[in-house]
Amino acid sequence: MPHYGARKSILTESLRFSWIYLRETIYTFGIYESIFKIIRVSFFREA
């Protein structure tokens, strides 16, 4: 039984870590998308 509990906690930890990683990745991509959008708009405004 303790083995199962340990295994479950490892699974929960990895799930939580992957969720945080996924959220950070989405957040970073959102920032980059906004930056690219701003660059594109200003570039078209210049041209």
Query: How far does Cα 17 stand from its chain's mean position?
Result: 11
pLDDT recorded at residue 45: 79
pTM score above 0.75 = no
Query: In the chain, which ranges are continuous DSSP H helix?
Result: 2-46
- Please name the amino acid found at residue 16: R
Name the CA radius of gyration of the chain, rounded: 20
> What's the CA gap between 34 and 37, in Å, rounded?
5
pLDDT beneath 70: ranges in the chain: 1-4, 47
Domain edges within the chain: 1-47
